[in-house]
């Protein structure tokens, strides 16, 4: 039995009956946030730490003192174990929906999100908020917020795809140049970076949030394009020479070009790699594809950003875990606002 099913049973058999007695108020209940079970990827190994039957309880219009009292009454009656699993009471979250979203994203979810807000949200955090399962939501508030966060707005989607093609364009010839001077290790490292960018691009093309590294490859397998792409990407990782990498990577690029053309967002692009200037290297010219995509962006601020800083969102800027989690810092709101300034025109004085 996977963790999400255990949590579902725990809520309906234990928590809901108790809440009816001790706190007859409106609330929402769900299992979301960090945890392999939220994504459905948990195994027995997942239960060796930071795991317990648990639930998120969002009390509507509750004051801090009311939440504290309700939590105290609930914990007094929760069992120490459920279905043979130890229950750690502290792992059940009780708060308001607004406070929880603020803690995860450092925003007031009742106010409209700016486009640049989306560039500060790690895709893993968005995945944690939109996956899992809602058990109870009387007024539909939790579902409404999950619908808002369900996926990037159209112009942000275009901007992130263009930024990823730009990254590919900046490094695809470097992989070949390194190999040309007999730096096979350097070439292989760059190739791995490009493989990761291709995989990220696939998530974007299929409008799916990409999870953090532990589940990145696992989630990639569930994409509709993975079966066709994975043999080429594995080959890029496995071969020993830069010429073999070039061949396998260009087969992957050929398929990516077909996927891009299938989106119908730009004029059709060539599905064949071509020479990089006069050098004996064939590349996809990712920067050219990026330029075509940015022309489809309608929002003036994001169009400006695409012309001045085609760098993507926080996931593309950095792979530092602590920095991506800035919204959870004590001063997370201030940190995120400073990052937003970086994306805005006002940063240039």
Query: Mind listing the pLDDT tens digit of every residue in the chain (349 residues)?
Result: 789 999 999 999 999 999 999 888 899 999 999 989 999 998 888 888 878 999 999 999 889 999 999 999 999 999 999 999 999 999 999 999 999 999 999 999 999 999 999 999 999 999 999 999 999 998 899 999 999 999 999 999 999 999 999 999 999 999 999 999 999 999 999 999 999 999 999 999 999 999 999 999 999 999 999 999 999 999 999 999 999 999 999 999 999 999 999 999 999 999 999 999 999 999 999 999 999 999 999 999 999 999 999 999 999 999 898 999 888 888 888 998 888 888 887 554 4
Q: CA of 96: how far to CAs of 26, 112, 257, in Å?
A: 11, 19, 45
The token pair at 2 is: 């996977």
Determine the pLDDT at residue 223. 98
3-state secondary structure of 11: helix
Burial of 230 (0-12, 13-18, 19+ CB in 10 A): middle
Burial of 340 (0-12, 13-18, 19+ CB in 10 A): middle
3-state secondary structure of 264: coil
| 65 close to 94: Cβ distance less than 8 angstroms | no
* DSSP labels, 116-181: HHHHTS-HHHHHHHHSSEEEEETTSHHHHHHHHTSS--HHHHHHHHHHHHHHHHHHHHHHHHHHHT
- Closest by alpha carbon to 136, among 83, 58, 191? 58
Angular region, 83: left φ>0, alpha ψ -120 to 50, beta rest: left
Determine the pLDDT at residue 347. 55
- How far apart CA 308 and CA 311 sit, in angstroms, is 9
- How far apart CA 326 and CA 125 sit, in angstroms, is 11
Question: Which residues pair with residue 31 across a beta bridge?
Answer: 133
Determine the pLDDT at residue 62. 87
- How far apart CA 113 and CA 299 sit, in angstroms, is 14
The token pair at 114 is: 């700016």
- pTM listed for this prediction: 0.94
- How far apart CA 314 and CA 228 sit, in angstroms, is 29
- How far apart CA 80 and CA 67 sit, in angstroms, is 21
Helical H segments across the chain, by residue range: 3-10, 16-22, 36-39, 64-77, 97-105, 115-119, 123-130, 141-148, 154-180, 184-205, 213-220, 226-238, 242-263, 286-294, 300-308, 314-317, 321-324, 332-343
- How far apart CA 6 and CA 49 sit, in angstroms, is 16
């Amino acid at each position: 039995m996977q963790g999400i099913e255990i949590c579902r049973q725990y809520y309906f058999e234990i928590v809901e009956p108790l809440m009816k007695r001790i706190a007859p108020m409106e609330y929402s209940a769900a299992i979301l946030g960090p945890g392999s079970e939220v994504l459905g990827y948990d195994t027995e190994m997942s239960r060796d730490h930071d795991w317990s039957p648990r639930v998120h309880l969002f009390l509507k219009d509750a004051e801090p003192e009311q939440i504290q009292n309700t939590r105290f009454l609930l914990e007094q009656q929760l069992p120490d174990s459920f279905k043979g699993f130890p229950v750690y009471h502290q792992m059940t979250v009780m708060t308001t929906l607004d406070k929880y979203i603020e803690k995860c994203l450092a925003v007031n979810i009742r106010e409209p999100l700016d486009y640049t807000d989306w560039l500060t949200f790690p895709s893993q955090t968005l995945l944690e908020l939109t996956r899992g399962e809602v058990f109870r939501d009387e007024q539909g508030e939790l579902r409404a917020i999950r619908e808002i966060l369900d996926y990037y707005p159209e112009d942000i989607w275009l901007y992130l795809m263009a930024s990823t093609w730009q990254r590919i364009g900046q490094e695809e010839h470097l992989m070949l140049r390194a190999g040309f001077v007999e730096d096979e290790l350097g070439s292989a490292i760059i190739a791995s970076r490009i493989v990761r960018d291709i995989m990220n691009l696939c998530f974007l093309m299929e409008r799916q949030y990409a999870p953090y590294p532990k589940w990145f490859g696992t989630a990639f397998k569930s994409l509709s394009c993975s079966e066709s792409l994975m043999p080429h990407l594995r080959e890029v990782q496995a071969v020993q020479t830069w010429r073999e990498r070039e061949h396998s990577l260009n087969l992957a690029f050929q398929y990516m070009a077909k996927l891009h053309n299938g989106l119908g967002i730009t004029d059709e692009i060539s599905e064949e790699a071509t020479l990089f200037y006069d050098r004996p290297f064939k590349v996809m010219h990712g920067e050219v594809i990026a330029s075509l995509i940015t022309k489809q962006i309608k929002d003036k601020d994001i169009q400006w950003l695409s012309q001045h800083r085609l760098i993507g969102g926080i996931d593309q800027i950095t792979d530092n875990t602590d920095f991506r989690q800035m919204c959870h810092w004590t001063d997370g709101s201030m940190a995120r606002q400073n990052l937003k300034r970086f994306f805005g025109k006002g940063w240039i004085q």
